[in-house]
Amino acid sequence: MDMPETDDVILLKGCYLEAYRSDDIALKLEGLRIALNEPSNSYLADTVKEIASVARRLRELADIAQVNRDCLAYVLDPLNIVLPCLSKSLRDIKTHYDRCSLSKENRWRNMYHCMKDEVNGLSLPERFKIYYEYATLLRNFLRRLKASSVEYSVYEKSEELARRVYFKQVRLFSIQDIPHIDWTRLVWPITHWAEHIFSSPWPRTPMKNTAQVRTISLGPHHELGHYDIPMYSKVLLRQSFDGDKVSLTVFLNSQDDCAYLLLRMFKDEKPWFSLRGVHELCIKRCGNSLRFRRWSMNANNSKIWAKLCFNAWEDIVLMYCTFVSLKARNLRTLQCGPKELALGKEKELFQADIFDDSFHHSLMVYQDDATGGLRLHAAVLDGELRQCPVWTAFVTEQARCTNWIRRSASRRKVWLSDIRLFVFCKNYREHNQRKGPTGEFQINFVSDRAFDSSLILL
């Protein structure tokens, strides 16, 4: 006999369900926009955009909630308020859309004006923008972001929504039903290096033939609620693939302090999940994708666990280096082979030893086979972590500038301007190398020969 589902599982399933419904409505309205020849900056286009944004945010919220379970209890009541309201809005749109007795133009006009009148003149794009902002506030709380990072607290924002948004018979948000969420509770600062890797945008170099390869998750998979992730575990990063059909959430397990990968995919409109520790997986680059293999006890052989396809060269480099560093520094990892420590599909143009933040590192310059992109890469020189990534930096716009690299007054030192480092370990302090006159990054070569070779190459 199946056990009854808990409230948190029911509401998280509701997030995925309403996200699916939002995508379906957005697709229908986009078809309507094309049929009506509406421009890309029209109200209809804006409505499609906002509904699609709500879908992505709900899936992200539900993915994160399974890891940050200690915060989940504080957002269940707000979810129980917003999800029925969102569902009603989406079902009302579908009712107007399905009125085949009207022309397509009149369906849209009738939908827009009727639903606008319901909420005292609030347009459809504005309505779904409110849903998006509300879900974002809950997401931020789950991620333990500081209250200063958002415009209002959830309570203050909800009061504003309650004043602005009403239906004919049922209020969208009722003030007395809005629970107070204390933003000072359980707020953690960003303390792990992996949280910084994908936290801000950077220039991207497109990969070729990305449409020909799909992201797949081969599992084994389980339903929502199957994995009992320990309380106080922490999300390090989350990436989505194939239009958010597949997502990867990397988190730090609070019990063993090791990194784990949680994959989410959809089958028959239901979310399915697969969980593996970084120490249980091997990684390999195959063109514009990363393949993860697991060991099968039944087959006594390795099997593909997942294949993640990337649209940009920088993304595939960062994900690879992040995984390798997490695995190499994991106490449960038995072995991390030399081949796994090398990204592959790139040429090594230069290698030299450097003194870097009081450490002895190996500096390489790689050129990607597919895109021709250049990157600097520092790795551990020797010891148990030999070849483990320390940082990488992409040479993009700087390469077009004649003075982005220059030698200092003393030999064996060069300064790099406008360079951004992605750091893959907790002990490295980038600011110690920002020694140039205007904060340029300084590289200290061990030998004169390496110094001269670097100037010729770069």
| Residue-number span of the structural domain to which 383 is assigned | 348-457
Computed on alpha carbons and rounded to an integer, the radius of gyration of the chain in Å comes to: 25
**Which tens digits make up the pLDDT trace of 388-403?**
999 999 987 766 666 7
* Pair 330, 387 in one domain: no
* Pair 14, 139 in one domain: yes
* Pair 31, 176 in one domain: yes
Max intra-chain CA distance, the chain: 82
Domains of the chain: total = 3
* Pair 357, 305 in one domain: no
* Pair 236, 363 in one domain: no
Residue 204 lies in a domain: no
> ∠68-70-71 over CA atoms, to 5°?
75
**Which tens digits make up the pLDDT trace of 198-229?**
988 888 899 887 666 789 899 899 999 999 99
Residue 2 lies in a domain: no
**Which tens digits make up the pLDDT trace of 139-169?**
888 887 544 444 445 445 544 554 444 343 3
Residue 196 lies in a domain: no
Residue 197 lies in a domain: no
* Pair 14, 64 in one domain: yes
Residue 109 lies in a domain: yes
* Pair 246, 380 in one domain: no
pTM (2 d.p.): 0.87
* Pair 40, 139 in one domain: yes
Q: What is the mean pLDDT of the chain?
A: 84
Residue 198 lies in a domain: no
Domain end point (choices 339, 364, 390): 339
Q: Which residues of the chain have pLDDT under 70?
A: 1-4, 145-190, 210-212, 398-402, 409, 448-458
Amino acid of residue 116: K
Q: What is the DSSP string of 112-141?
A: HHHHHHHTTT--HHHHHHHHHHHHHHHHHH
Could you tell me how far CA 203 lies from the centroid of its own chain? 16
* Pair 252, 272 in one domain: yes
* Pair 36, 103 in one domain: yes
**Which tens digits make up the pLDDT trace of 273-307?**
999 999 999 999 998 999 999 988 877 888 999 99
* Pair 247, 144 in one domain: no
* Pair 158, 245 in one domain: no
From residue 257, alpha-carbon distances to 252, 254, 260, 297, 394 in Å are 6, 5, 10, 25, 30
